[in-house]
Amino acid sequence: MNLAMGMYCKNKFLGVYAPIANKAFNKIIIDMRSKFGTILIPNSEFKTNFAAYSTQPYTIGLIADQNPSNPAKAIWTNFLGKKTAFVRGPEVGSKGNNTAVVMVYIYRKKRGYYKIETTLLTTEPKQTASGFITKSLIQFIEQKIYEHPSNYLWSHKRWKHEFDEEKYGKLFIQ
């Protein structure tokens, strides 16, 4: 996706990523993903580095189904029938900058051929209720998993954090 977005996006395309521990392999991945102009920002440096790009038109790509590092700062909701923690970043960032939210789904049609589907969620995130963007994203992901279960990365420890009503109950959205 980074290759295509960097090449075809009219605005600067920013990708947030988690660096890989192996420095040599990390450099290979960065070089490959930034080949056509994608600007990659490590997730640990996003808050400080993003400001330089936020004053001009940009498109940002986030893999928003990732497991949050701190479940006490997460949004908790049902996902595939289980209480699950989600990162707040996509919702907080879109509301803070009042940027449109577009959900993107890429799936394999056949060997070497992929289809990209885009769904506009909102152009006015500040006008949405708290949790609406995250809940909509989760429903979108669930729908796509049911449609194409083989495309979901089942091994990425989605349920690493156990829900504790006492600790996380106030963070749960219906």
Domain-embedded: residue 27? yes
Q: Where are the alpha helices (DSSP H) in the chain?
A: 2-8, 23-33, 46-49, 89-97, 132-147, 165-168
Q: Identify the domain containing residue 123 by its residue range.
A: 66-157
Domain-embedded: residue 165? no
For 41, 81, 122, the CA distances from 13, given in Å and listed in that order, are 11, 34, 19
Residues 120 and 44 in one domain: no
Residues 56 and 85 in one domain: no
pLDDT at 2: 55
Rounded Cα gap, residues 74 and 60, in angstroms = 21
Which of these, 41, 79, 40, lies nearest to 160 by C-alpha position? Answer: 79
Per-residue DSSP letter, 26: H
pLDDT at 143: 93
Domain-embedded: residue 24? yes
Q: pLDDT tens for residues 110-121?
A: 898 888 888 999
Residues 5 and 57 in one domain: yes
Residues 3 and 22 in one domain: yes
Q: Which pTM was predicted? A: 0.79
Residues 35 and 83 in one domain: no
Rounded Cα gap, residues 130 and 122, in angstroms = 14
CA gyration radius, the chain: 17
Give 85's contacts (C-beta < 8 A, 6+ positions apart).
67, 68, 71, 74, 75, 76, 161, 163, 168
Tally of domains within the chain: 2
Residues 71 and 152 in one domain: yes
Residues 81 and 56 in one domain: no
pLDDT at 160: 82
Residues 79 and 141 in one domain: yes
C-beta atoms surrounding 28 within 10 Å? 12
Residues 56 and 119 in one domain: no
What is the mean pLDDT of the segment spanning 25-32? 90
Domain-embedded: residue 89? yes
Domain-embedded: residue 172? no
Residue count of the chain: 174
Q: pLDDT tens for residues 34-83?
A: 888 888 888 888 888 888 888 888 888 777 666 788 889 988 999 988 99
Q: pLDDT tens for residues 124-145?
A: 999 999 999 999 999 998 999 9
Residues 39 and 76 in one domain: no
pLDDT at 146: 92
Residues 56 and 79 in one domain: no
The pLDDT of residue 122 is above 60: yes
Domain-embedded: residue 92? yes
Domain-embedded: residue 170? no
Q: pLDDT tens for residues 145-163?
A: 999 888 877 766 677 888 8
Residues 88 and 12 in one domain: no
pLDDT at 36: 83
Domain-embedded: residue 22? yes
Average model confidence (pLDDT) for the chain? Answer: 86
